[in-house]
Amino acid sequence: MYTETKIQDIVNTQREYFRSGSTLDVKWRIQQLKKLKKAVIAHEAEFEAALNEDLGRSKVEAYLCDIGPIITEINETIAGLRRWARPELHFSGLMCFPSILTRVYKMPYGVSLIMSPFNFPILLTLGVLAASIAGGNTAVIKASAKSKACTSTLKKFISEVFAPEYITLIDGGHDIADLCLAQRFDKIFYTGSPAVAKHVLAEASKNLTPVALELGGETGNWCVVRKDADLKDAARKIAFFKLCNAGQICININQIAVAEEVANDFLRELKSEFSRQIGTHPLDNPDYPKLITEAAFDKCANEAEQYRSRIIFGGEGNRQNRRYAPTLIYPVHINEPIVQHELFCPLLPIVPYKDADIEEVMSTIAQREHPLAMYIFTKDKRWARHTMRTQQYGGGCINEVCIHLMVKGVPFNGTGHSGMGAYHGEWGFREFTHPQTVLTGKTFGNLPLREHPYSGKSERKKLRILRWFER
């Protein structure tokens, strides 16, 4: 059982270890990343079993969504870390003469706290950990209490791979999370809901601890299907994505706005794709994931009941195995409650609109909290690119779903209610390091320009030189 004293001891031990300088060497960090990768591969079967127990994931989905991306992320980090960590050399400028060289060092924050969620418990724990290691930090991981099997497996995994003064995993509920937040960490990375993120940010503010937040977006991620879209292609991709992890994905499609001119054709294609990919009896399909808890199932089922008269596909669940069928709700008005909050389940409300009114739709979306993702299906690439440049969201795709998350070298996260900061690859390294600027001074050739006197004969001469420098 964790107590405030025990957690404080863990943090203090890690801070002492960090101050020893052991984590600063880049070669040593790369060794830790290689150790992490080797261990992930060795424990693949254990992770697959845990993901199946918690979320009903098949082996393919477990590897596709959790295990494989971690290995890719670690590989990218190992390949780039020496270059990312290299101090930057800058010309100081004539105003600093004769001290013309300035370096920017990438310094780790120190002791980091990683608070990971239940929906991708392996990826969003070890993926963030890889960034923390790359930055040269120690880490305390607070894993989700909802994904019990995965948290238990991760705790055993971490204790086998790393020394506790370097990396430790803590389990437990919200009370344990609060005990962690009461400590003074040097960096906090939280993945979860906007509501809890506000609490994390408030607690972090007491110690002025820098925070990164990876959130789902309070009013959900929109998918827009224009009348000129390839409907079969859009339906195929949307169905795949909504089936993935039973909709429990922070970047998943929360609702669809479809041009009413093609709505019936699109819905026919979407129903067909759901049936093709998961079968006509998804509740009995062992490949179809389940909701994380009975409470999550009940929340999904209760919301579906409120729209029972407009369910055109699905609408059935099995509380015993926590599976709820992919469910299409149509038509839904853009201002109804179901499209103004994150669903995190297999429900998919569909909002019809006249294609000529698309700008009004986009304006309504823009007025709500910024989503973590946005997806657009259309043949009008010029309009799509303009829209994606002018809307505010975390990231997204044109005529595709979710795979922007897999692109190397680009940042991932949201803004406002969908996040704060960014990570993946070099962006993760940046998130877990602080740039420190250091100018190297000269002990000879220094000019008296900055020194008193500032009046009399010196005034005009010094002002003339200063203005010349600053042109």
Which residues are identified as catalytic?
214, 250
β-partners of residue 191 are: 214
**Residue 272 CA: distances (Å) to CA of 224, 225, 275:** 19, 17, 5
| DSSP strands (E only) in 56-178 | 88-91, 101-108, 111-115, 138-142, 167-170
CA 383 to chain centre: 27
Q: How are beta strands 111-115 and 347-353 bridged, if at all?
A: unpaired
| 237 neighbors 252 (Cβ within 8 angstroms) | no
Ramachandran bin of 236, using left for φ above 0, alpha for ψ from -120 to 50, beta for the remaining angles: alpha
Cis-peptide, bond into residue 331, ω within 30° of zero: yes
Token pair listed for 443: 């002990």
β-partners of residue 396 are: 374
> In this structure, which amino acid lies at residue 225?
V
- Helical segments of 171-293, H only: 174-181, 194-205, 231-243, 263-278
In a 10 Å sphere around its CB, with 0-12 CB exposed, 13-18 middle and 19+ buried, how is residue 456 labelled? exposed
Q: What are phi and psi of 140, to 5 degrees?
A: -105, 125
**Residue 72 CA: distances (Å) to CA of 58, 67, 143, 299, 374:** 20, 9, 22, 35, 24
Distance CA 432, CA 36 (A): 18
Token pair listed for 390: 């002018």
Q: Which residues contact 422 (CB under 8 A, 6 or more apart)?
A: 212, 411, 412, 413, 430, 431
CA angle 85, 90, 94 (to 5 degrees): 165
Taken as a whole, the chain contains a residue count of: 471
